[in-house]
């Protein structure tokens, strides 16, 4: 992975139409958590790149958070707007 793909991402908002729609990325098992973006997804269309590090999820600092805690924030029910930094 190159240096640019391990950068902390800038603020990106992902808005899905309903809870059945997917945001289109997975959270990697490492700390700090980075992401893996699926091709053709909402995440990719919004400018997310695989390897970027999550610093905040919906305003919560997640740089030192455990993987499971970050997943809970991202995949919370009734979350159709996801703000990542």
CA distance 16 to 68: 22
Share above pLDDT 70 across residues of the chain, in percent, rounded to a whole number: 92
CA distance 84 to 4: 17
CATH superfamily of 4-84: PDZ domain (2.30.42.10)
Domain ranges of the chain: 4-84
Contact 14, 73 (CB under 8 A): no
This prediction's pTM: 0.83
| HSE value, Cβ hemisphere, 13 Å, CA-based, for 18 | 1
pLDDT in tens, 55-75: 999 999 999 999 999 999 998
């Amino acid at each position: 992975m190159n240096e640019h793909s391990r950068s902390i991402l800038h603020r990106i908002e992902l808005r899905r139409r309903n809870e059945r729609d997917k945001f289109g990325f997975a959270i990697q098992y490492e700390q700090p958590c980075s992401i893996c973006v699926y091709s053709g997804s909402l995440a990719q269309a919004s400018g997310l790149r695989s390897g970027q590090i999550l610093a905040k999820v919906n305003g919560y600092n997640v740089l030192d958070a455990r993987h499971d805690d970050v997943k809970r924030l991202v995949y919370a029910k009734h979350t159709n707007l996801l703000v990542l930094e």
